[in-house]
Homo-oligomer: A and B are copies of this chain.
Amino acid sequence: MENKTITAAFKSKKLTAIPRGYRTFITNAGIKDTSLDLGIVVSEVPANGAALFTQNQVKGNPVLVGIQHIKGGKVRAVVVNSKNSNVATGKQGYADAVRICKAVAEELKVPVAQIFPSSTGVIGRRLPAERIVSAVKNLPAKLVTTDFEGFAEAIMTTDTFSKFVSRRVGQATIVGVAKGSGMIEPNMATMLSYIFTDAEVSAPRLKALLTKTAASTYNSLSVDTDMSTSDTVLALANGLAGKVSIPQFEKAFHEVALELTRMLARDGEGATKLFTVTVKNCASESAAKAIGKSIINSPLVKTAIYKGDPNWGRIFMAIGKTPGVKIYPEKIRIRWGGKSYGNYQLAVLSAYLQKNEELHLEVSLGTGKKSWTVYGCDYTEDYVKINAYYTT
């Protein structure tokens, strides 16, 4: 993709710490071609787990199975394949997802409900489950390393780089991994992301933290308004590093999720820029988020920032079309990269838009004190190319 030159600052840095007690297995199971297509992370001990799922009413079979399995709050293994999402594949597809979980559970000698499945890739084709079942034969013997970076690579689809990040919290470590590039829209329908830690955190606390964190990170991300049928965020805490400071843990957990969110936005299909929009001085957080989303999802705004068209009228258009939020056009103030640009500085604004890989727009509504930030990207010819010319 010609436009995609993502500088290192926006990509994953080599992991310098990993949480205790996790082993990984990554391989090519032959789902579609010969590239990595299967990633498994196993916790030595049952980990407390919490998950959030897509709100699309058409849910992938692994999502349907995952919703059931996570109810127990304990997870021993995460099994993720790329190249096929096992969505819209009917009862057969559901049976296939269960079949994979059973095979892994038998290998690990743990209850099947402790296996958490995900699949990502094309919709509507039967998943060759038997190939995955074959690939996990003698799984315990294959769990010799802990390679979260490899796991991140195995679950990629149209991503152009693998996404992982870590933070230390006292004696514990958090590692977050994500994949996603298109069919990304908030309302918990964003991508696949997994956060692993060895901190001791209960399942209910993990769920509460995940829900709160997702609101300002994963759910504030939009690449193309399309809401995937597969998307899932899972957090696992196996407790092997013991208790940690909860405020510090929450801060680090949020940082991990936010950094992954920014990577997902920057790596949006065909994107050349990370686009963040903060809506402030608003009557409510929900209104600020709605306006931010309206801006970040507007094709005319997304195309304007791509090549630096200083067409700020489109920002007003996008604010004004937001459903259900009362605005006062004359009170609205706009800043780009911390500066306000007047009608006679269009060339300067255009230069700002063209020169920066991260663009920050701030919109002040003048109707209150609440604010919200959303994350997105520009719209380019390559988005069309990626999605029009072949089946992804």
Contacts and interface: CB of A to CB of B under 8 A. Distances in A.
A321 B391 contact: no
A58 B295 CA distance: 14
Contact of A313 (B122, B317, B329): B122
Interface string A42-76: 00000000000001111100000000000000000
A380 B319 CA distance: 25
A329 B183 contact: no
25 contacts: A56-B317, A56-B321, A57-B327, A58-B320, A58-B329, A87-B313, A87-B316, A87-B317, A88-B313, A122-B311, A125-B343, A183-B300, A226-B299, A226-B318, A227-B321, A299-B299, A300-B387, A303-B384, A307-B388, A309-B387, A309-B388, A311-B392, A379-B384, A380-B384, A380-B388
A343 B311 contact: no
A298 interface: yes
Nearest to A297: B225
A148 interface: no
Interface string A330-353: 100000000000010000000000
A385 B326 CA distance: 33
Contact of A229 (B125, B224, B320, B391): B320
Contacts of A57: 319-322, 326-327, 329
Contacts of A226: 298-300, 314, 317-318, 321
A19 interface: no
B124 A384 contact: no
Nearest to A90: B330
A123 interface: yes
Interface in A278-324: 297-300, 303-304, 306-307, 309-314, 316-322
A383 interface: yes
A317 B58 contact: yes
A74 to B, nearest CB: 29
A19 B224 CA distance: 45
Interface string A193-225: 000000000000000000000000000000011
